[in-house]
Amino acid sequence: MNEHLPRRTLLLGLGAAATLGSTRLAFARAPGDARLVVVLLRGALDGLAAVPPYGDPGFAALRPGEARDPGAPGGPLDLGGRFGLHPRLTNIHAMFQSNEALVVHAIAGPYRTRSHFDAQALLESGEARIGTSGWLNRALAGLPEPSRGARNGMALGTDIPLLMRGPTIVANYAPLTAARPEDDLMARIAALNAPDPLLGPAMREGLAQRAFTAGALGPQPQGTQAGGPRPQNPTAELARTAGRLLAEADGPRVAALDMGGWDTHANQAQRLPNTLGALDEALGALREALGPVWRRTAVLVMTEFGRTAALNGSAGTDHGTGGAAFLLGGAVAGGRVIADWPGLAPDQLFERRDLAPTTDLRGLILPLLREHLRLPERTIAATFPEAGGFSPMRGLLRG
């Protein structure tokens, strides 16, 4: 048992509690020991396709081609009688069956713009107006100091999304594929850039991060050179890397991951299944790579808004309002669908076109900061300055 304990837990003096039997409690309550992964689906996931409300008679009226019962050919994976999961979401469904997945429906952020770009920026910045920092970065300020040279936050991919930008320096990881200059030249380049307010920190952080990830991941696989074969599912590759780094005792605690391909204006039935399958594969890879740390992990999968309830003129869906979100992980009190279901009859739709939003996305996020990461209230106040305008959801997490 002890060899699986992260070193940081032992250093914090909580190893003893873990050996006394109530292991899950001890793990869950170690400050700064919880892991949070935020997956932002850019382009607006169609919540009604991902989580079909097959029990609502209005669904068949809106989407005659999609409304199937569980067990029918091409039918959804059942979530307990009213809702189903798209058949490509098998990993999420397995998590649901082992009470490690919460599915939240008819959810949306507080904004009502149907612009991807404004909605993503508002969702990432977490403020009433688009700011220059993201709520996930501001939340990092409330975590215990990481050990020397390590970072609490990590962005996967070659750039850092607004969600992860802000006052706290975060790590940044993308697969290394090119030969680098020798250490001495790198040091000179870093020194040349050091006085630059923008490039100095970036260069310094990049070098520190390379040293760290090289240690944690071992040698980089060959065959990822420029022009070489691309991985079949780059999101799954990044998710697997995130899991391995998050599982390190001195690794990051919070990671952000982006995935695109959700703006299905046309031929949705042909385009969406593969994208959903790639997401599901990535979430499975994340779970596998986290290993025992999955127990202390919560994964939030969110998108900027839902899509129109009915199909448009080209078998796709246009920008809408209410949609679906997922909360996954061993730390999650899962196995439930949470939906204050507004119904799908024409006069129940928002502006007679979109699934009406009945749950504020920030109400799903706030408990992750307060009960999962156990951030101090002053950090939470800085993370969501508008926190008075909505109620946090209850009972999302175990322990």
Question: Rule CB under 8 A: which residues touch another protein?
Answer: 42-43, 113-118, 132, 155, 158-160, 165, 171-174, 177-181, 184-186, 188-189, 191-193, 195-196, 198-200, 202-203, 205-207, 209-210, 226-227, 260, 263, 265-266, 312-316, 318-319, 351
SS3 annotation, the chain: CHHHCCHHHHHCCCHHHHHCCCHHHHHHHCCCCCEEEEEEECCCCCHHHHCCCCCCHHHHHHCCCCCCCCCCCCCCEECCCCCEECCCCHHHHHHHHCCCEEEEEEEECCCCCCCHHHHHHHHHHCCCCCCCCCHHHHHHCCCCCCCCCCCCEEEECCCCCHHHCCCCCCEEECCCCCCCCCHHHHHHHHHHHCCCCCHHHHHHHHHHHHHHHHHHHCCCCCCCCCCCCCCCCHHHHHHHHHHHHHHCCCCCCEEEEEECCCCCCCCHHHHHHHHHHHHHHHHHHHHHHHHHHHHHEEEEEEECCCEECCCCCCCCCCECCCEEEEEECCCECCCEEECCCCCCCHHHCECCCECCCCEEHHHHHHHHHHHHCCCCHHHHHHHCCCHHHCCCCCCCECC
CB-nearer residue toward another protein: 69 or 159: 159
Q: Considering the complex, what minimum distance in angstroms separates the CB of residue 248 from another protein?
A: 18
Q: Considering the complex, what minimum distance in angstroms separates the CB of residue 117 from another protein?
A: 5
Q: Considering the complex, what minimum distance in angstroms separates the CB of residue 164 from another protein?
A: 10
CB-nearer residue toward another protein: 1 or 178: 178
Q: Considering the complex, what minimum distance in angstroms separates the CB of residue 209 from another protein?
A: 6
CB-nearer residue toward another protein: 12 or 190: 190
CB-nearer residue toward another protein: 177 or 348: 177
CB-nearer residue toward another protein: 189 or 333: 189
CB-nearer residue toward another protein: 9 or 120: 120
Q: Considering the complex, what minimum distance in angstroms separates the CB of residue 133 from another protein?
A: 10
Q: Considering the complex, what minimum distance in angstroms separates the CB of residue 66 from another protein?
A: 16
